[in-house]
Amino acid sequence: MLTQIFNGNLDLTSLYIWIVALILAITVHEAAHAFVADRLGDLTARYMGRLTLNPLAHLDPIGTLLLIFAGFGWGKPVPFNPVALRNPPLGGALISLAGPMANFVLALVTATLIRLNVAPLTLWGQITVINIMLGLFNLLPFSPLDGEKVVAGFLPNHLRPGWARIQSYGIFFLVLFIFSGGEILNTLIQMVFGVFTGQNLR
């Protein structure tokens, strides 16, 4: 993103649209984690002021800057207490799944507006793309992403210790994927965008 700006391939208006769309996507993602945790009986997020759609509660300064300028990053993680959940593994999986699912729902809403020609493609197309991107990226089964906890929550009990040992190297798998499997993710983003909007991602 930063390279595009310096090369003149991205104007300030486009950058502003990208930032607005990004802040919205991160906020919805993290607020969904907090909401589901709260509904499942863990009040940690509520006590920490995370049960809100106020972006300031969910933006991590470094993670947000990386998302804007590098194309990948993170929001401020929503903590939850497994002890407060009736079924900690399943509850943790549902809490983790809530963020990506919220991104997909928001992407569907904005894509529908695009299909109906109710909203301009410039802004709403960016919102759709970013939400699809965050949803898919966070479902990758590598720690510390949401996908790792989703898989762990649905594994049989006897397989979870082995999965936890594998995920001790999760960050290395994630870095390897970012540098070698980025095209796979880009292809998936384009496919989902096409299904949602009925248009090709340009």
Q: Which residue numbers are catalytic?
A: 30
With beta carbons less than 8 A apart as the criterion, state whether 78 and 30 touch.
Answer: yes
69/195 Cα distance (integer angstroms): 27
112/125 Cα distance (integer angstroms): 10
Coil, strand or helix: which one is 91? helix
Instruction: Name the packing angle between helices 160-167 and 146-154 (round to 10°).
Output: 160
- Rounded CA Rg of the chain: 17
67/146 Cα distance (integer angstroms): 17
The vertex-64 CA angle with 62 and 68, nearest 5°, equals: 115
Tokens at residue 146, please? 């949401």
Q: Report CA torsion sign: 19, 79, 142, 104.
A: negative
